[in-house]
Structure 1
Amino acid sequence: MSHETLLDALLDADMLEIDDLHAWEFDLDDALVEALDAGQPGAPEAQLLRIECMDGRSRREWRFTQAAVQAAHFDAETGCWKLAGTDGEHTLRCFDAFGGDTEDEDEQE
């Protein structure tokens, strides 16, 4: 599924990969997302996205502003979003989770 903006992709994502690290722990500022959905300008310097993961034994965290998320661009060649942070550019890939049915279809009740 393709998305026009990184925010749309994040709203549909269950897990992220940032700079080749899997990060299933990420948060969007719900109030800011609601304001943007309502067509309000929001707050460009406000933190919109927080990503957390473990890199070996080290906990890593990234924070991105509304302006950074809105300025992100999709690189079709790599399938990643390019996102500028305070410490440089990052690559972000959004994933949807796959679920399984716990019931066996062959079983009869």
Structure 2
Amino acid sequence: MKKGVFAILLIAIALIGLAIYSYHLDHSTVITKVVTQTRTETLPPFAYPDLYGLSCTYTVFFNGTAFYNGTATITSHQTETTTIPPPYYANLWVEMLVASVVLLLIAFLLIRRK
């Protein structure tokens, strides 16, 4: 009878360990990555790229006037988010914990019965 109680205790302790491990796995993993894209565009000469925060090139004449030469560098930042769900068995930690508590109670009752 002692061998049976010892086996039940070992199984209950193993189930408690698996329940704790599954509890820590039971969340989604989110990976966020920033993607930067740079492009050069030709804008009409009457556009004012400085108003939109674009970096652009100017042609400066001898009399001090600056004329926009028609090219602007546009940089855009976008974030890509990937969500990885938990494994299908990770939400079974409650059932494993209940089963291990029941096995511990059975082992306790078998010990007390002697």
Please indicate the TM-score interval, normalised by the length of the shorter structure.
under 0.3
Q: Which structure has the highest helix share of the two? A: 2
TM-score (norm 2): 0.23
- By relative contact order (CA 8 Å, sep 6+), the higher-ranking structure is 2
TM-score (norm 1): 0.24
Larger Rg: 2
